[in-house]
């Protein structure tokens, strides 16, 4: 009998970026890089663990926007072309380094093999649809799949209108069910943003649990007897799991976290910015705009010294060491917790999936090593999914309401509401009021009519404008112009549709163009915005 449990949660999310009107938009590379750097490496890890018969279970959250992009035929075709183009660059690098940079030649060969393997997995094994891979490992019993809000809207700041939160939740569940043919048991709240009362809508959406940052649990309406190591019942059967601080620190911390080790690969050293533009030009954007290629030859190193050449063997050894350290710390933690617990404790370790492979190149290797060691060692804990824990080990749960919180800067909402992005919220709230009016006034429109299509498209435009990614980018200062344009474009589309519907002047061709550009949530139900009985 195990003394306790560990649940690893990976949250896979990207904003919906779909530009059929452009041949090669830069922002679509966010998806392509996530597929090649993160999702395919994780899938290859799942495949190896399945073949080895390793015993484990983890939770994977797939946001509805990411699901839509992974399933989009145009984006799948463009991603396949991207992988082939990067493989062509790796082939060219093998030749260049053989003659002109022999110190990097072995690394060039490594990237050529890696990209060849990625192409095989993406094109041959899963026919360019990675959802098939996630479903495969769900059915094998090793991955629990859960959802997120429809477009990852930051719910505490949308709560001025309950219909906005309801639509984000209900549309997210609907899209997840239609794509994967299962009802999600849990949800990753966008940015782990929670406010008291949200559990009521989660219950209506058929969701049984969510995650809160540790202070959301520790500052609950009643002091949690078991801290963050047992879920709270929010009072209506919806469970709140709390993030474990030590698991977070060892992976996320900029000063103490594993990814900053000097033997690991340096993310910011990329040949896309380091080699002559004439050489790299066929593999950058139109106009000679340099981009990350994923081919990186240096390690983190440390200090102000010039970056040293990356050594994959040393990095793999370090990943194994860090995996064993993480295993040792979890065993000690369970041993310490057990005497003070009235039920087996659960340690909850939630992470952004894109950390594993994209930002931290060795992340999938570290995770695989940890899972294998956890299975082989005589451990006092078991890797478990959250639904399994709730069914078999959580009862009875203490009833308490978590405090309003997020996992953002200072633990609340500042990153999504500040002087860089506060201008968007009056427009979002006004659009929601208008959407409520449309839903109430036209609730009995025949399905598949032109008016019905316009109402659905208005709902899509509003949901897309509410994505938390855009205020986040405005605050972080990366692609601010693009983020602001996405919000203003979606609001402009919504306002155009609102005027067209209320004045009964819907243009079939304009509506069709909007449906092509915002090709998401085909069966969206605009009645989510109805407020009157």
Given this model, what pLDDT does residue 378 score?
83
Q: Is the pLDDT of residue 533 over 60?
A: no
Q: Which two tokens mark 407?
A: 């996992």
Mean pLDDT of 266-282: 94
The mean pLDDT of the chain is: 96
User: Which residue from 527, 406, 402, 404 is spatially nearest to 471, judged by alpha carbons?
Assistant: 406
Mean pLDDT of the 255-281 span: 93
The two beta strands, 232-233 and 239-242, are: antiparallel
Question: In angstroms, what CA-CA distances link 298 with 99, 103, 135, 266, 485?
Answer: 19, 11, 36, 6, 35
Average pLDDT over residues 91-109: 97
Range 261-282 average pLDDT: 94
Distances (CA, A) of 452 to 167, 218, 449, 466, 525: 17, 46, 5, 22, 10
| d(C-alpha 161, C-alpha 433), whole Å | 8
pLDDT of residue 288 exceeding 80: no
Angle at 326 between CA 324 and CA 329, to 5 degrees: 110
Q: Which pLDDT band, with edges at 50, 70 and 90, does 303 fall under? A: confident
What local confidence, expressed as pLDDT, does residue 149 receive? 98
Residues in Cβ contact with 231 at an 8 Å cutoff, skipping those fewer than 6 apart? 209, 239, 240, 241, 242, 346, 389, 390, 394, 397
Q: Which of 258, 256, 253 is nearest to 315 (CA)?
A: 258
Judged by phi (left if over 0) then psi (alpha if -120 to 50, else beta), residue 128 lies in left
284 pLDDT band, cuts 50/70/90, is confident
DSSP code for 61 = E
The torsion angles phi and psi of 254, rounded to 5 degrees, stand at -70, -25
Q: Are strands 4-12 and 381-383 parallel, antiparallel or unpaired?
A: parallel
How many other CB atoms are there within 10 angstroms of residue 482's CB atom? 14
pLDDT at 132: 97
Chain region(s) in the chain for CATH 3.20.110.10 = 7-16+30-71+129-255+346-410
DSSP string, 408-443: SGGGSSGGGSSTTTTTHHHHHHHHHHHHHHHHHHTT
Architecture of domain 417-529: Up-down Bundle (1.20)
Judge whether residue 287 has pLDDT over 80: no
Cβ-contact 162, 433 below 8 angstroms: no
With 60 as the cut, is the pLDDT of residue 446 above it?
yes
Assess contact for 27 and 19: CB atoms under 8 A.
yes
Query: pLDDT tens across 154-208, in order?
Result: 999 999 999 999 999 999 999 999 999 999 999 999 999 999 999 999 999 999 9
Phi, psi of 56 (to 5 degrees): -170, 170
Residue 532 has pLDDT above 70, yes or no: no
Mean local confidence (pLDDT), 258-283: 94
**Model-level pTM?**
0.97
276 token code pair: 């002559």
Among residues 217, 223, 226, which one has the least CA distance to residue 341? 226
SS3 assignment, position 47: helix
Residue 476 half-sphere exposure, CB side, CA atoms within 13 Å?
A: 12
CATH 1.20.1430.10 domain residues, the chain: 417-529
Architecture of domain 7-16+30-71+129-255+346-410: Alpha-Beta Barrel (3.20)
In the 8-state DSSP scheme, what is residue 345? -
The 10s digit of each residue's pLDDT in 319-377 is 999 999 999 999 999 999 999 999 999 999 999 999 999 999 999 999 999 999 999 87
CA–CA dist 177, 312 (Å, integer): 40
- For residue 336, what are the contacts with CB-CB under 8 A and spacing of at least 6? none
- At 113 the pLDDT is 98
8 Å CB contact between 264 and 315: yes
Question: How much is the CA Rg of the chain, to the nearest whole Å?
Answer: 24
CB 288 within 8 A of CB 277: yes
d(CA 88, CA 85): 5
Looking at per-residue confidence, does 448 or 192 come out higher? 192
Spacing of C-alpha 414 from chain mean position:
20
| pLDDT at residue 255, rounded to an integer | 79
Cα–Cα dist 12/148, whole Å: 9
pLDDT at residue 405 greater than cutoff 80: yes
Note the pLDDT of residue 282.
Answer: 87
For the chain, first and last CA: distance in Å? 52
Report helix, strand or coil for 510. Answer: helix
């Amino acid at each position: 009998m195990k003394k306790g449990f560990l649940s690893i949660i990976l949250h896979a999310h990207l904003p919906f970026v779909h530009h059929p009107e452009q041949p090669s938009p830069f922002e679509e590379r966010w998806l392509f890089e996530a597929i090649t750097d993160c999702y395919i490496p994780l899938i290859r890890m799942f495949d190896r663990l399945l073949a080895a018969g390793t015993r484990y279970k983890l939770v994977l959250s797939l946001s509805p926007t990411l699901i839509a992009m992974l399933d989009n035929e145009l984006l799948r075709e463009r991603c396949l072309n991207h992988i082939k183009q990067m493989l062509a660059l790796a082939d060219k690098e093998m030749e260049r380094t053989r003659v002109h940079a022999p110190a990097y030649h072995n690394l060039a060969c490594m990237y050529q093999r890696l990209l060849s393997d990625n192409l095989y997995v993406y094109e041959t094994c899963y026919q360019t649809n990675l959802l098939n891979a996630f479903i495969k490992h769900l059915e094998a019993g090793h991955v629990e799949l859960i959802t997120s809000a429809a477009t990852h809207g930051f719910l505490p700041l949308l709560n001025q209108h309950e219909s906005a939160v309801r639509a984000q939740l209900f549309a997210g569940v609907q899209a997840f069910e239609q794509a994967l043919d299962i009802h999600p048991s849990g949800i990753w709240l966008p940015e782990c943003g929670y406010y008291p009362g949200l559990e009521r809508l989660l219950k209506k959406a058929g969701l049984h649990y969510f995650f809160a940052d540790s202070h959301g649990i520790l500052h609950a309406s009643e002091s949690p007897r078991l801290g963050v190591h047992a879920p709270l019942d929010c009072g209506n059967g919806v469970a709140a799991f709390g993030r474990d601080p030590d698991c977070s620190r060892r992976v996320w911390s900029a000063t103490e976290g594993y990814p900053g080790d000097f033997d690991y690969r340096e993310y910011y050293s990329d040949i896309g910015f380091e080699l002559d533009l004439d050489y790299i030009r066929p593999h950058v954007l139109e106009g000679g705009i340099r981009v990350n290629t994923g081919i990186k030859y240096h390690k983190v190193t440390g200090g102000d010294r010039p970056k040293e050449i990356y050594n994959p063997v040393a990095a793999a050894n370090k990943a194994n060491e860090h995996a064993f350290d993480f295993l040792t710390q979890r065993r000690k933690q369970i041993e310490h917790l057990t005497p003070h617990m009235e039920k087996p404790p659960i340690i909850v370790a939630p992470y952004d999936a894109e950390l594993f492979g994209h930002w931290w190149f060795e992340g999938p290797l570290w995770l695989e090593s940890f899972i294998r060691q956890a299975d082989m060692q005589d451990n006092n804990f078991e890797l478990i999914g959250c639904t399994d824990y709730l069914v078999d080990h959580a009862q009875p749960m203490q009833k308490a309401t978590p405090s309003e919180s997020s996992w953002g800067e200072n633990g609340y909402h500042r990153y999504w509401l500040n002087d860089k992005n506060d201008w968007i919220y009056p427009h979002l709230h006004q659009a929601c009021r208008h959407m409520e009016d449309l839903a109430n006034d036209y609730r009995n429109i025949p399905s598949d009519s032109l008016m019905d299509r316009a109402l659905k498209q208005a709902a899509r435009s509003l949901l897309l404008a509410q994505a938390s990614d855009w205020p986040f980018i405005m605050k972080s200062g990366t692609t601010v112009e693009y983020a602001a344009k996405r919000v203003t474009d979606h609001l402009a589309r919504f306002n155009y549709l609102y005027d067209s519907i209320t004045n009964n002047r819907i243009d079939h061709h304009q509506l069709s163009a909007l449906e092509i550009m915002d090709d998401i949530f085909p069966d969206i139900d605009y009645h989510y915005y109805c407020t009157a009985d």
